[in-house]
Amino acid sequence: MPQPNDSASVPTDSHSPPGSNPGNGTHKPSFLSNLGADLPASLVVFLVALPLSLGIAAASGAPVMAGLIAAAVGGIVAGSLGGSPLQVSGPAAGLTVVVAGLVDEFGWAVTCAITVGAGVVQLLMGVSRIGRAALAVSPVVVKAMLAGIGITIILQQAHVLLGGQAAGSALENLAGLPAAITNVELHSALLGLAVVAILMAWKFLPAAVRKVPGPLAAVVAVTALSVAVAPHVERISFSGSIFDAIALPSLPDGNWRAASMAVITVALIASIESLLSAVAVDKMHGGSRTNLNRELVGQGSANVVSGMLGGLPVTGVIVRSATNVEAGAKSRASAILHGVWVLVFSALFAGLIQLIPLSVLAGLLLVIGAKLVKVADIRTSLRTGELLVYSVTLVCVVVLNLLEGVMIGLALAALCVLWRVLRAQIHAHAPAGSGLPWRVTIAGSCSFFALPRLNRILHSVPEGQDAVVELNADYLDHAFREALVAWQKQHRNTGASVVLEEHGTTAFTDAEDNTPQRQDLREFPLPPRTSWLPSSGNTTADDDGGQPPLRSILLGIDKYHRRHADKVRPLVQDLTESQNPDTLFVACVDSRVNPNLITSSGPGDLLTLRNIGNVVCSDGRDASIDSALSFAVKALSVDSIVICGHSNCGAMKAVIADAEGSAPALGAGFDSWLEHARPSYSALLAGHPVARAAEAEGYSRLDQLSMVNIALQLRKLEDHPVTGPALVSGQVQATGLFYDICTARVVLVTAEGIEQLDPGMAVRA
């Protein structure tokens, strides 16, 4: 009762069988522990990787065997040293356009040297432990980059499929398509389209047939057909085996700046694609997670070896990796073995490769390029408001080149983030009726970037019209505060009042003399009216220096309608016809105690009973209390009853004063009501356990009495004819709480003592 004078670690890779002891000399080597699953999976991945590697090499303008060298090195080296146990590495479509440009500008031998340099950069990135930093790239840019690569591959390989030669750029290929269609080589086009048709229909075939990888089946079937019906179609050509294709790299003859930029480009794209692929693979299985720094070391090592041997750049490839997981691989042995099979096949059966028509690989690459352009990514970018970034990146990758397109996309994505983060939402709302003030709502980051819009909106409020400024800022700098204060003074000079209401995480006064900063998000319900009424010191006061009580309530209702009613409406729609609270909360009438606030409760959660001193009558002398208990237990079937007292309680002060003969004259009714709490004072004098526990923690004699009173009211619930049987049967449980106003903390009160519910208050100073 109020009184006038109240005062992340990354798991290591392990391939031992479950339950095995690494120190036991009888266990199988880790490489062989899962060989029963890894061996068949490696064969499946090999069959998928073989035609893809050949097609990517052909599209890159590199020697065909360079694709097989990269596949073998990616499997063996990256599989052994990388940080992702199930990722499979090899030549990837994502670097096709880049490599083709490098071959055209520098020649193949220098391109191999650039691959070695990119591998060294990746090694340094891995050793420097910045693997996770390489993932700080907007996903929409990566998706648009892949889509741009896909479109570039389609435009390029369409010419090959039609029996012609691809041009150097996507625009040239697009412009030359009509002529290529006019001069189509029929056999070549039909063979390529047959591959496309087989791959598109493959997913509709029976499961038994689909056990054979679609790309392998399409290439083998159409190649066999071409030998019979089109023996003169242009085919893959090379001399010797994979060992004859090994070629040492050579340094560029001048133009070191362009070569250095090429090294950085290949390193960044290969790293990003490998790490994103590794993260995607982690989501496909429940085994060890990827060590991203180690994965960069593995990828860098593979690129150094591949470049030194005359192979294409190596990356982690999601198509092969997903196939590896789906085939049942359990460890890195599958990726390593797949590289071994590529090496063995290339050495022993190189002649078979020369039977494959170029248009067959072109058909395969057309399907691969089409899969890089995903409608789902476009829908996602549209839904998330990133369609502009996606579109600009895609167009720039196709029209300019990969590096410039990605850099432009990243820059645009960063600008969009800055726009969203720094842009404040500022609006002026005309009054809905006469006598009501104008409303200016400000939300978001309030910095000098928003000053032009702030001044325009503020000066749209007519002179002489009262205004309420609702500030919901998560960041506020001095310039913004200064502009708002200047307008506030100017508008008051026109005879109008300006009320400032703050609801954000950053206080308006913080920006006056302090460095601006983002505050921690504070979830706080409704602050007291004294913190935002016009008579408050941090707002513009009216001439009379205060507000009449009724006017204060009406202002509070107005604020509720403006800021909270729409948010509360969904919470109370289901409560329109009935209520179903789980707790009867018996509290003191003191205005400082807010049951919903201290229990984080909302509408419909608490059935509240408030009286002076939070007392319970078990002798039937108060019908209001008895009826509330009966309604709660019998009609609403509440699960719990809470008795909540508080510090510096006026009722407990009156009990002590009455016992000491100095009680104020508050009337016979008040004196009669105190009879319900007087036994608590006797228990305090008798050394009740709760009083001793409270004294030990430093609580005052007044607060000790409040806690003892709570314990005695809990005992009365046990004797009450309604709540007593419900407590015994377990239908209801009773809890005692003490709200310490000065610390804003809640203490649990039991029959034997007290317990601090906030761990930070467990030891009182």
Buried b (16+ CB within 10 A) or exposed e, 369-404: bbebbeeebbebbeeeebbebbbbbbbbbbebbbbe
Instruction: Indicate if 357 and 504 belong to the same structural domain.
Output: no
Of 230 and 518, which is predicted with more confidence?
230
Per-residue model confidence (pLDDT) at position 673 = 82
- Closest by Cα among 56, 36, 44 to 323: 44
pLDDT at residue 541, as a whole number = 37
Q: Are 590 and 1 in contact (CB under 8 A)?
A: yes
**pLDDT for 395:** 93
- For residue 450, the model assigns a pLDDT of 87
- Do 40 and 127 belong to one domain? yes
pLDDT at 570 over 70: yes
Together in a domain, 595 and 482: no
Mean pLDDT in residue range 209-217:
78
The whole-number pLDDT of residue 510 equals 62
Contacts for 388-394: CB closer than 8 Å, 24+ residues apart: 388/412, 388/416, 389/138, 389/140, 389/141, 389/144, 389/413, 389/416, 390/140, 390/143, 390/144, 390/147, 391/144, 392/144, 393/140, 393/141, 393/144, 393/145, 393/148, 394/144, 394/145, 394/147, 394/148, 394/151
pLDDT at 545 exceeding the cut of 50: no
Q: Rounded mean pLDDT of 216-225? A: 85
92 and 121 together in one domain:
yes
Query: Which of 360, 375, 390 represents a domain boundary (last residue)?
Result: 375
- Which pLDDT does position 194 carry in this prediction? 92
Work out the average pLDDT over 236-242.
68
Distance CA 451, CA 438 (A): 20
* DSSP symbols for 39-69: HHHHHHHHHHHHHHHHHHHHHHTS-HHHHHH
State whether 546 and 613 are in the same domain. Answer: no
How far from the centroid of its chain's Cα atoms is residue 292's Cα?
19
Q: Kindly tell me if the per-residue pLDDT of 435 is higher than 80.
A: no
Question: Does one domain contain both 463 and 316?
Answer: no
Q: Lowest mean pLDDT of 46-60, 302-316, 526-540, 718-732, name the range.
A: 526-540
Average pLDDT over residues 187-194: 90
State the pLDDT at residue 353.
73
Length of the chain: 765
> Per-residue pLDDT averaged across 303-331, rounded?
86
- Is pLDDT at 519 greater than 90 in this prediction? no
Task: Inform me whether the pLDDT recorded for 560 exceeds 60.
Answer: yes
Residue 644's pLDDT is 97
Q: What amino acid is encoded at 409 in this protein? A: G
Query: What pLDDT does residue 308 have?
Result: 94
User: Per-residue pLDDT tens for 581-616?
Assistant: 999 999 999 999 999 989 988 899 999 999 999 999
Same domain assignment for residues 554 and 687: no
In a domain, 414, yes or no: no
pLDDT at 668: 67
Residues 601 and 540 occupy one common structural domain: no
Q: Is the residue at 589 inside a domain? A: yes
> CATH number, domain at 737?
3.40.1050.10
Window from 33-37, 511-515, 567-571 with minimum mean pLDDT: 511-515
539: which residues sit within 8 A by CB, 6+ positions away? 499, 500, 501, 532, 533
Mean pLDDT, to the nearest integer, of 629-649?
A: 95
Highest mean pLDDT among 14-18, 467-471, 744-748: 744-748
Q: Cα angle at 426 between 421 and 431, to 5 degrees?
A: 155
* Higher-confidence position of 476 and 319: 476
For residue 39, what are the CA distances in angstroms to 28, 121, 330, 397, 444? 16, 33, 10, 39, 57
Which CATH number belongs to the domain containing residue 463 in this structure?
3.30.750.24
pLDDT at residue 304 tops 80:
yes
Of 632, 642, 622, the C-alpha closest to 713 is: 642
Number of Cβ atoms within 10 Å of the Cβ of 624? 10
Q: Could you list the residue range(s) of the whole structural domain that residue 35 is in? A: 31-375
Q: In the predicted model, what is the mean pLDDT of residues 350-375?
A: 81
Let me know whether 151 and 211 are in one domain.
yes
Nearest CA to 220 out of 353, 104, 116 is that of 353
Question: In the prediction, which pLDDT does 695 show?
Answer: 94
Span 242-267, average pLDDT: 85
Local confidence band at 705 (pLDDT 50, 70, 90 cut-offs): very high
Query: Which three-class secondary structure string do you get for 328-378?
Result: CCCCCHHHHHHHHHHHHHHHHCHHHHCCCEHHHHHHHHHHHHHHHCCHHHH
Residue 640's pLDDT band, with cuts at 50, 70 and 90, is very high
Q: Which of 217-221, 434-438, 580-584 has the lowest mean pLDDT?
A: 434-438
Residue type, 57: A
Stretch 271-284: mean pLDDT, rounded? Answer: 80
Residue 764: the pLDDT is 47
* Confidence tier at 661 by pLDDT (50, 70, 90): confident
Query: Of the given ranges (123-132, 323-332, 381-390, 458-467), which has the lowest mean pLDDT?
Result: 323-332
* Distance, CA of 217 to CA of 187 (rounded, Å): 20
Of the segments 177-191, 208-222, 397-411, which one has the largest average pLDDT value? Answer: 177-191
* pLDDT surpassing 60 at residue 66: yes
119 and 217 co-located in one domain: yes
- Answer yes or no: is 654 within a domain: yes
Mean pLDDT of all residues in 302-319: 91
Is the pTM higher than 0.75? The answer reads no
The answer to whether residue 719 is domain-embedded is yes
The values of phi and psi at residue 440, to 5°, are: -120, 115
Q: Would residue 570 count as lying in a domain?
A: no
* Domain end residue (candidates: 563, 595, 619): 563
Find out whether 66 and 107 touch, Cβ atoms under 8 Å: no
Higher pLDDT, 711 or 240: 711
Q: Are residues 692 and 750 in the same domain?
A: yes
- Out of 190-199, 395-404, 570-579, which region has the weakest mean confidence (pLDDT)? 395-404
The pLDDT of residue 617 is: 83
| In a domain? residue 385 | no
Lowest-confidence range among 68-77, 234-243, 352-361, 424-433? 234-243
Predicted pLDDT at 392: 94
pLDDT exceeds cutoff 80 at 287:
no
- Mean pLDDT, rounded, of the chain: 82
Bigger pLDDT: 662 or 384? 384
Is 20 within a domain? no
Copy the structure tokens of residue 482.
Answer: 């200064």
Residue 18: inside a domain: no
Q: What is the pLDDT of residue 512?
A: 66
pLDDT at 22 over 70: no
pLDDT tens, position by position, 110-142: 999 999 999 999 999 999 887 776 666 777 887
pLDDT score of 209 more than 60? yes
Above 90 in pLDDT, residue 219? no
Which among 234-238, 475-479, 651-655 has the top mean pLDDT?
651-655
Beta partners for residue 429, in sequence order: 439
| Number of domains making up the chain | 3
| Lowest-confidence segment of 79-93, 466-480, 550-564, 725-739 by average pLDDT | 550-564
The number of beta carbons lying within 10 Å of the beta carbon of residue 432 is 8
For residues 309-318, give the mean pLDDT: 90
Last residue of a domain, one of 375, 392, 415: 375
pLDDT at 120: 96
Does residue 4 carry a pLDDT above 50? no
pLDDT at 5 over 50: no
Give percent of the chain above pLDDT 90.
33
- Confidence at residue 347, expressed as pLDDT on a 0 to 100 scale: 83
- Give the pLDDT of residue 718: 92
pLDDT at 542: 40
pLDDT tier at 685, thresholds 50, 70, 90: very high
CA distance 375 to 577: 47
Residues 83, 85, 89, CA angle at the centre, nearest 5°? 80
Average pLDDT over residues 630-636: 93
Confidence (pLDDT) at 523: 47
Residues 341/333, Cβ–Cβ less than 8 Å: no
Q: Are residue 637 and residue 668 in the same domain, yes or no?
A: yes
